[in-house]
């Protein structure tokens, strides 16, 4: 059996102030094309469907469009979805029982009562059954009803939920999970677009996933394995921060044979509509090396000119239409940022302005300018009193 593993769609997200609707639609269309070519039995979407717990109407419409296109693919494909920490589990689960009839299975919330269990979807191939367990993002508070007293850690909460399932390890088992997994204390490589938790309170060791032949993980935005080849974050389908400029986004394709054999794992590259790029150099170098093919890309520009160039932003915007940030990195800015451990010197306002004036203009103030500054400072002090 072959299936696709994707996650962290973050529909509705903006990159700085740019709307990503068309970029996301472009990627979804690529995913659909790969599905039609590879014909997987299922597509697993491991959380963070939306970027907000209350997504906009535009975001909901885009995901509806994607699901509608999926439903029209032949042969029929099963869609397995879990909620991530950015999603509202209750909202995502709306009409889920109706969608089951169209082979779209959504788990918005983990089991929260004794009667409930992790949602399981069973698919079959020539080697028999594969059990897919849909475990959405889980906080310890969600499973408080299972604990008579005391509080649970994230690790204990997941262990408790999985321990109730009596997983049949003679069969092939796959779990969809959206949590912060580590492998023997080693954390996954992260990026700036993720939500970080202070102190590692949400860490869960992958040892809790020992009964599963494959773990389709969401939450971390860079594709990577955790501890073993079959415990994987697939990453986001798009670059969602400048720190991901060098990341190669992809679909993780998994092919299962009989129980006990090692699944084949491949990464199918995805090409963004507008790549994120980092450019560094003097203004002249960046303008000189500008390529027409990169005009619509998202760019982070770092200028290294020692002397501040004339109207750099305006000149760069003539060639780059999606500038995410414009930074200056030269001897002067490095000197400003080079703080020492010594106590900062408290300067008189006049002294501070004189130093700033000299730095900016490359000369000392004239006598007339100095007197004018004295008058301004005196008026400010009188106003403060």
| Token pair of 136 as six digits | 């959405």
pLDDT number for residue 11: 97
CB atoms near residue 332 (< 10 Å) = 14
Query: Last residue of a domain, which of 252, 269, 286?
Result: 269
| Same domain flag for 253 and 330 | no
What distances in angstroms separate CA 274 from CA 19, 82, 251, 292, 327, one per listed residue? 12, 28, 18, 13, 21
Range with the poorest average pLDDT among 99-103, 121-125, 209-213 = 99-103
Average pLDDT, the chain: 90
Q: How confident is the model at residue 385 (pLDDT cuts 50, 70, 90)?
A: very low
Summarised one tens digit per residue, pLDDT across range 206-224 is 999 999 999 999 999 999 9
| Same domain flag for 202 and 293 | no
pLDDT number for residue 267: 97
Mean pLDDT over residues 137-166, rounded?
A: 88
In a domain, 340, yes or no: no
Query: Last residue of a domain, which of 269, 293, 317?
Result: 269
Mean pLDDT over residues 366-370, rounded?
A: 83
| Same domain flag for 222 and 325 | no
| Same domain flag for 237 and 217 | yes
Higher pLDDT, 146 or 322: 322
Domain range for residue 369?
345-384
| Same domain flag for 160 and 236 | yes
Range with the poorest average pLDDT among 20-34, 75-89, 146-160, 163-177 = 146-160
| Same domain flag for 262 and 119 | yes
Burial track 32-41 (b if 16+ CB lie within 10 A, e otherwise)? bebbeeeebb
Summarised one tens digit per residue, pLDDT across range 59-74 is 999 999 999 999 999 9
What CATH number is associated with residue 328?
3.30.160
Summarised one tens digit per residue, pLDDT across range 315-350 is 999 999 999 999 988 776 776 656 544 555 566 777
Range with the poorest average pLDDT among 129-133, 237-241, 276-280, 361-365 = 361-365
| Same domain flag for 322 and 229 | no
| Same domain flag for 317 and 362 | no
pLDDT at 127 over 60: yes
| Same domain flag for 295 and 194 | no
pLDDT at 375 over 80: no
What distances in angstroms separate CA 180 from CA 107, 204, 322, 349, one per listed residue? 18, 6, 32, 49
Indicate the number of domains in the chain.
Answer: 3
| Same domain flag for 280 and 204 | no
């Amino acid at each position: 059996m072959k299936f696709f593993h994707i996650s962290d769609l973050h529909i509705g997200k903006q990159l700085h102030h740019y709307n990503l609707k068309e970029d996301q639609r472009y990627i979804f269309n690529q995913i659909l094309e790969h599905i039609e070519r590879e014909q997987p039995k299922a597509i697993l979407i491991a959380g963070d469907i939306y970027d907000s717990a209350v997504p906009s109407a535009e975001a909901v419409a885009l995901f509806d469009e994607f699901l509608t296109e999926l439903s029209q693919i032949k042969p029929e494909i099963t869609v397995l979805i879990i909620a991530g920490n950015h999603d509202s589990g209750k909202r995502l689960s709306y009409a889920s029982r109706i969608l089951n009839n169209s082979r779209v299975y959504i788990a918005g919330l983990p089991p929260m009562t004794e009667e409930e269990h992790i949602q399981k979807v069973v698919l079959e191939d020539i080697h028999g059954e594969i059990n897919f367990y849909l475990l959405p993002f889980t906080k310890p508070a969600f499973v408080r009803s299972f604990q008579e007293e005391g509080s649970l850690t994230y690790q204990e909460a997941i262990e408790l939920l999985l321990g109730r399932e009596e997983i049949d390890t003679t069969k092939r088992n796959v779990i969809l999970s959206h949590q912060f997994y580590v492998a023997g204390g080693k954390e996954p490589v992260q990026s700036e677009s993720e939500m970080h938790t202070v102190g590692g309170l949400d860490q869960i060791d992958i040892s809790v996933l020992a009964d599963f032949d494959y773990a389709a993980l969401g939450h971390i935005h860079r594709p990577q394995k955790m501890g073993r080849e079959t415990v994987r974050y697939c990453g986001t389908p798009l670059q969602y921060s400048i720190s991901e400029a060098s990341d190669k986004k992809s679909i993780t394709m998994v092919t299962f044979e009989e129980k006990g054999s090692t699944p084949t794992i491949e990464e199918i590259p995805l090409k963004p509509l507008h790549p994120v790029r980092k450019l560094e150099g003097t203004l002249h170098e960046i303008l000189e090396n500008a390529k027409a093919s990169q005009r619509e890309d998202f760019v982070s520009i770092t200028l290294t000119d020692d002397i501040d160039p004339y109207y750099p932003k305006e000149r760069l915007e003539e060639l780059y239409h999606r500038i995410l940030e414009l930074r200056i990195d030269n001897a002067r800015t490095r000197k400003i940022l080079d703080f020492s451990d010594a106590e900062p010197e408290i300067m008189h306002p006049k002294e501070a302005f004189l130093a700033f004036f000299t730095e900016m203009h490359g000369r000392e103030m004239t006598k007339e300018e100095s007197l004018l500054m004295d008058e301004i400072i005196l008026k400010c002090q009188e106003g403060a009193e």
